[in-house]
Amino acid sequence: MPETIKVPPIKSQGIKTKLVPFIMSSIQWSGHGRWIEPFIGSAAVVLNVMPKRAILTDTNEHVIRFYHDVTTGAVTPKQVEHFLTKEGAKLLHSGETYYYEVRERFNQHPTSLDFLFLNRSGFNGLIRFNAKGEYNVPSGRKPERFRKAYVTKVVNQVAMIASIARRSDWVFAVADWKKTVTQAKEGDFIYADPPYIGRHTGYYNGWSEAEAKALFLALRAAPCGFALSTWKKNEYRANPYFPDNLTGLTVKSSKHFYHVGSTESLRHAMEEALIISEDHAVCPLLQVR
């Protein structure tokens, strides 16, 4: 288990940063194959597992572009520092008017730097797009957001990713989960963190009950181990889409409070579940006892 949890520079609803200890202490994997994530999202989990080889995909082209640019050096920590300082000064001067100017610019010509700026200055760390594929998160109304200490924190997070990537063989690609899961081979491990039905609407594209069921069946049929993140219940109700055929699988759960969400009703305590293939629970690779 890492002494310090690595926090990614990108935030999103459903981010797993605070669940990393729970996830890593629940999974048993040799580390000899490839770590595969068909829903990379914020990349919080892979940044802490730090596998030597990984296939990291998402249908959100903007997330993939950002991590690809950082790991290839197309976007450097120095560029991030200069950009956020310059754009932050404009935000401080013009407030949310400038936020919406950048959002319009991004929707016309998306770049990794604008994506990072919007993600860190938009409302409550959301990633959300409308039916036309346009980024539609409102302003976070914090014009002073990019103070020097905050910029330094984000720059250090970007530098951390670049450093890890230089020592690793990680492949980032825009792909749907079906294509990604079919690449799995014996010895690999699949960690799947799909959008949660009823919670992550608008993240990038739709996620239905039919796709959730198809993913679960595909993971069970994969030639390697897997872990599937989902929610089990909250104080109001149980997850009506929770898989019912769990024979041969291990289910672990942990109480968790989500701070990122579009509404107050999505920011409360819930029971997070991890469904793990039977022979892959508890991780000697990470020296968990």
Domain chopping of the chain, boundaries: 17-59+175-286, 75-161
Is domain 75-161 given the CATH code 1.10.287.3510 in the classification? no
- The pLDDT tens digits for 196-234 are 876 545 555 668 889 999 999 999 999 999 999 998 888
pTM over 0.85: yes
- The pLDDT tens digits for 64-105 are 999 999 999 999 999 999 999 999 999 999 999 999 999 999
Domain 17-59+175-286's class? Answer: alpha beta
Enter the tokens of residue 65.
Answer: 């572009």
Domains 17-59+175-286 and 75-161 share a fold: no
